[in-house]
């Protein structure tokens, strides 16, 4: 308890899955958590749950595919709380494992907009404030898909996220601002329910499955939140530009 005491933390994609668990864990560790996603009813429920266990949370409804919305999220948090100590870029959408040959322009643009460009916009807006204070921790949620183990758009966006993470880390090394990434392996959330999996491309899941051990148990959202908390907190204060895979060893 108390590993994020007094911190102001934005967690995007916190209406469900890994982001929701991360927001709840952060609040238990003393952070004031700002929840961000599109579904307001879900955000209201997460905020109420955090309040019920004695934590502090607020939310901003936003579609992060829109640059102006990303800027508005940051401006709203600064106006209300005066600073941002932690930014977790977790919001993401899948590409249904669509290979290059079957990826439409629309699918590519949408996945890259949400999974990569929104992170650039949020980081750029947030770093201006972190730079003024000379402190802050950014955690980007990539994926084992960054190794090509998903569809073309998702794999590319998640790999781009790793380069962005390292680039920010290099710029701010030794200046009090850190940027790290986690790479979740398969984790049961709304992203991969049986209904969602039924919409996946028929070819790619079998192809990519040859590259990791399906007999290994899946990590859960608390496993993912633990790694994100580690990078968000001062326990990792000497680490920046690092990428941590959380998959029970499935891709070793």
Annotated catalytic residues are 154
Find the binder of ligand NAP among 9, 50, 70, 114 (CB under 6 A). Answer: 114
- Using only the alpha carbons of the chain, give its radius of gyration: 17
Note whether 60 binds ligand NAP by CB under 6 A: no
- Between 1 and 214, name the residue whose CB sits nearer to ligand NAP: 214
Task: Quote the least distance from Cβ 168 to ligand NAP, whole Å.
Answer: 17
CB of 180 to ligand NAP, least distance (A): 15
Of the ranges 49-57, 58-66, 125-133, 204-212, which one interacts with ligand NAP (CB under 6 A)? 58-66
208-225 exposure pattern, b = at least 16 Cβ within 10 A, e = fewer: beeebeeeeeebbbebbb
C-alpha distance from residue 146 to each of 110, 156, 207 (Å): 17, 7, 15
- The answer to the question of residue 140 lying near ligand NAP (CB under 6 A) is no
Region of 73-81, 167-175, 181-189, 200-208 interacting with ligand NAP (CB under 6 A): 181-189
Distance CA 199, CA 11 (A): 28
Among 16, 76, 242, 251, binds ligand NAP (CB under 6 A): 16
Residue 143 or 240: the one with the smaller Cβ distance to ligand NAP is 143
166 contact partners, CB below 8 Å, separation of at least 6: 179, 241
Q: Is residue 55 a contact point for ligand NAP (CB under 6 A)?
A: no
Decide: is 128 part of the binding site for ligand NAP (CB under 6 A). Answer: no
- Which segment (2-10, 13-21, 76-84, 209-217) binds ligand NAP by CB under 6 A? 13-21
Tell me the window of 23-31, 168-176, 182-190, 199-207 that interacts with ligand NAP (CB under 6 A). Answer: 182-190
Q: How far apart are the first and last CA of the chain?
A: 32
Angstrom distance (rounded) from CA 31 to CA 35: 12
CB atoms within 10 A of CB 185: 22
Q: Is 64 in the site for ligand NAP (CB under 6 A)?
A: yes
Report which of 244, 228, 245, 239 is spatially closest to residue 169, judged by C-alpha positions. 239
Distance of CA 64 to CAs 1, 113, 120, 134, 243, Å?
A: 31, 8, 11, 26, 23
Which of 32, 117, 180, 189 binds ligand NAP (CB under 6 A)? It is: 189
Instruction: Report in angstroms how near the CB of residue 131 gets to ligand NAP at its nearest.
Output: 25
Contact present, 36 and 47 (Cβ < 8 Å): no
User: What is the C-alpha to C-alpha distance for residues 217 and 230, in angstroms, rounded to an integer?
Assistant: 22
Indicate whether 251 belongs to the interface with ligand NAP (CB under 6 A): no
| Residue ranges in contact with ligand NAP by CB under 6 A | 13-19, 37-39, 42, 62-65, 90-93, 114, 141, 143, 184, 186-187, 189-192
């Amino acid at each position: 308890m108390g590993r994020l005491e007094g911190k102001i933390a934005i967690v995007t994609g916190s209406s469900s899955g890994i982001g929701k668990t991360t927001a709840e864990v952060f609040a238990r560790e003393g952070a004031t958590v700002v929840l961000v996603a599109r579904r307001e009813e879900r955000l209201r429920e997460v905020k109420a749950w955090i309040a019920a266990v004695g934590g502090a949370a607020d939310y901003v409804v936003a579609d992060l595919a829109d640059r102006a919305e990303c800027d508005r999220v940051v401006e709203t948090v600064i106006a209300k709380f005066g600073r941002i100590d932690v930014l977790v870029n977790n919001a993401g959408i899948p590409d249904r494992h669509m290979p290059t040959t079957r990826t439409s322009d629309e699918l590519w643009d949408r996945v890259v907009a949400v999974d990569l460009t929104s992170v650039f916009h949020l980081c750029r807006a947030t770093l201006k404030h972190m730079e003024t204070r000379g402190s802050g921790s950014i955690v980007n949620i990539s994926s084992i898909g960054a190794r090509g183990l998903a569809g073309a758009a998702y794999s590319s966006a998640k790999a781009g996220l790793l380069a962005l993470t390292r680039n920010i880390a290099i710029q701010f090394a030794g200046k009090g601002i850190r940027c790290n990434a986690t790479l979740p392996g398969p984790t049961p959330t709304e992203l991969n329910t049986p209904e969602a999996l039924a919409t996946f491309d028929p070819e790619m899941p079998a192809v990519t499955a040859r590259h990791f051990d399906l007999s290994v148990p899946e990590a859960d959202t608390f496993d993912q939140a633990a790694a994100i908390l580690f990078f968000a907190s001062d326990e990792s204060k000497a680490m920046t530009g690092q990428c941590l895979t959380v998959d029970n060893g499935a891709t070793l």
